[in-house]
Each structure stands twice: as structure tokens, then as C-alpha cells.
Amino acid sequence: MGMKVVALAGGIGAARFLGGLVRAVEPADLTVVANTADDIRLHGLHVSPDLDTITYTLGGGVNTEQGWGRADESLAVATELAERYGQPAWFTLGDRDIATHLLRTRVLAEGGTLTQATAEIAAAWRLPFRLLPMSDDLVTTRIVTADGRDLGFQQWWVGERAGPDVAEVRFAGAATATPAPGVLGAIAGADAVVLCPSNPVVSIGPILAVPGVEATLRHAPVVGISPIVGGKVVRGMADRLLPAAGSKVSAAAVAERYAGFLDAWVLDDVDAGEVAAVERLGVRAVTTDTIMRTPQVAAAVARTALDLLTLVVST
Ligand code: FO1
């Protein structure tokens, strides 16, 4: 039996990393737990961007330029909705992508769970690992803006292009949510839990906010890869959200957010100057090239992370 690995994942950054992780471990021994607090209901459909980004990327069907959505996409439905029916068009669903949302929404409407819908979609894409939503309950990231509005995450990020300053980030529904079946058991039984290089506030944050997850992580070997390189985000909006959540935009500051359960942390080579600060948190740190231009680089990052964690656990 190989090493049992659990990855906690957001969207694009996680998907790139997972493309490497599946080369570094036996995929059959891998469980990926994805954030679902970016989910949104649109035109009556349940859209799960992070689950879909992971599925399409690892299934070989992602739009590689965007990093999300389907390759070979068309917009006939979106155009008809906007132009004929005058429906809001700030969040675009492509035709092929809509097929995924139709299937998911139908499973849910028939009384199935998000876990069941996700398994059916993952099987169709022949994903070689187990993909779980963090919860079957509705947990929704809310962005309270400095000008006092309470926006859904996608409304702020896509609808307003992350323009408004952020006063507060909340996870509505998290306090009463239950982890999806298999999540806590996978973490408790893992030889390694890997925090993907995802947004610490709105990707990993909601997973940690589901009751029981953080407590279970405290007894598991946990390694993470910094999503912040040289004081900047590799992609996404963590630079806009970390200050609102009380953290600096640095690799060490992200490690500090996880310090209660983190055993090892992988930083980019450019952040070698932050290694000492991370180790003062009681977290073993190492640097490597973390800019995952190819799956080969991503696999090297994954091996570095797992090797460091193995070292920490054995000493
Ligand atoms: N991002 C955009 O900037 N504009 C869109 O219209 C948009 C649509 C969309 C549809 C399905 C999907 O899975 C993702 C989509 N995204 C879109 C990306 C998404 O908003 C974010 O990148 C993630 O939620 C953040 O991780």
C-alpha cells in the first residue's frame, strides 16, 4: 500500500498542483477535498467552480488559457439568455460547462447530495482519485465591502472585478455545516495532508471553517505550499483578502494562519529570507521553485512537500 494522501484544494492553483501530485503519489490513495463556498446558483443551476476547475483540469478538458471552464467552449445558451431573455450576464456559463451544472442540479433536485453529484461527474471524467466537496451543506463566502455592502464571493470577484475594498469575509452556514461523508475519516487516516497553494482566506479558509476539520488536522501530519511568492499572489485575489483577514501578504504570514496544525511549509526560492520566521512558528520549512509552469515542475513541488513532511514526522 502506498502513502495515503489528502489534499485540501481551491480552484486554479490547486488544480495545477494536483496535476503534479497525481504523478508523485498513487492516485488511488489520494483524496481531494475541495472548497465549495464559491458555489453559486445561477439560472436555477448549481455551479461549483472549484470542483469543476479540478475536474476539468485533471480530466484534460479545461480551458488552459483561462484556467477555469471548458476547452472548446461555445456561448449559445449564455447569448440567448442575455439577448433574448434579458437575463443578467455578469457570470458567463459556457454550453459544455452547463451540461455539468445540469447534471449536478438534477442529482440535487432528486434528493441526492453534492458528494453523489461530484462522484458521478468525476467518474465521467475518469478522475483517478477520490474528489469530495468539503460539505454537502450550503456554505457561502460573503464579502462585506468597506462601503457596507454584503456581496456573494462571485459578485465581488467577477461582478465587481474585486474593485471594492473588503472589510470582512464571512462563511455563511459554516457553523452548522457538517463535513461531507469521508472527509474527516480521510484526514484522520492520512499519512500526509497537503494544503494546496490556494487562497488561504476564501479557498482553504472555508474548508477549515467546517466544524471538525481543523480539530482533525491537529492530529494529522500536514504540509502546505505557499500561494504567496515574493509578497505577491501567483494568481487570484489573496492580496486583496489577506489584509482584511488580518494577515500580511507573505509566505510566512500564510504559514502563521495555519500554525495551529501545520508541520511543514514549502516556500518559493525567492522567499528564502522567510524560512527562519516560519521555523520560529515550529513549522519546518524548505524552499524550491514553486511556479508550476508544467506538470513536471508541479510533481517536483509535490515530492519536495511530501519528502519534507516524511522527514518531520520521522524525527
Ligand atoms: N470567472 C470570471 O472572471 N468570469 C466569469 O464569467 C466566470 C464564469 C465561471 C463559470 C464557471 C466556473 O466554474 C468558473 C467561472 N469563473 C468565471 C471563474 C471563477 O469565478 C473563479 O475564478 C473562481 O471561483 C475563484 O477560484
Closest ligand 1 atom, residue 48 Cα = 13
Is residue 154 within 6 Å of ligand 1 at its C-beta?
yes
* H-run or E-run covering 279: helix 275-279
Examine the pLDDT at 206 and tell me if it is beyond 90: yes
Examine the pLDDT at 227 and tell me if it is beyond 80: yes
Q: For residues 52 and 97, what is the distance between their CA atoms, to the nearest angstrom?
A: 9
Taking every pair of Cα atoms in the chain, the longest distance, rounded to a whole number of angstroms, is 65
Q: For residues 126 and 278, what is the distance between their CA atoms, to the nearest angstrom?
A: 38
Residues in Cβ contact with 161 at an 8 Å cutoff, skipping those fewer than 6 apart: none
Ligand 1 center to 56 CA (angstroms)? 13
Ligand 1 center to 162 CA (angstroms)? 13
Cβ neighbours of 29 (radius 10 Å): 16
Ligand 1 center to 67 CA (angstroms)? 9
- Write down the mean pLDDT value for the chain: 97
Residues paired with residue 141 on neighbouring β-strands, in sequence order: 171
Look at residue 90 in the predicted model and tell me its pLDDT: 96
What's the alpha-carbon Rg for the chain, to the nearest Å?
19
Question: What are residue 195's phi and psi, to 5 degrees?
Answer: -90, 110
Query: 5 is written with which cell numbers?
Result: 494522501
Is residue 91 within 6 Å of ligand 1 at its C-beta?
yes
Is residue 158 within 6 Å of ligand 1 at its C-beta?
yes
Of 27, 205, 21, 32, nearest to 115 by C-alpha is: 32
Q: For residues 63 and 72, what is the distance between their CA atoms, to the nearest angstrom?
A: 7
Examine the pLDDT at 120 and tell me if it is beyond 80: yes
- Domains identified in the chain and CATH numbers: 5-137+174-314 (3.40.50.10680)
Look at residue 1 in the predicted model and tell me its pLDDT: 62
Look at residue 101 in the predicted model and tell me its pLDDT: 98
Examine the pLDDT at 167 and tell me if it is beyond 90: yes
Ligand 1 center to 22 CA (angstroms)? 24
Is residue 97 within 6 Å of ligand 1 at its C-beta?
yes
Query: Among residues of the chain, what percentage have pLDDT more than 90?
Result: 97
Q: For residues 24 and 299, what is the distance between their CA atoms, to the nearest angstrom?
A: 6
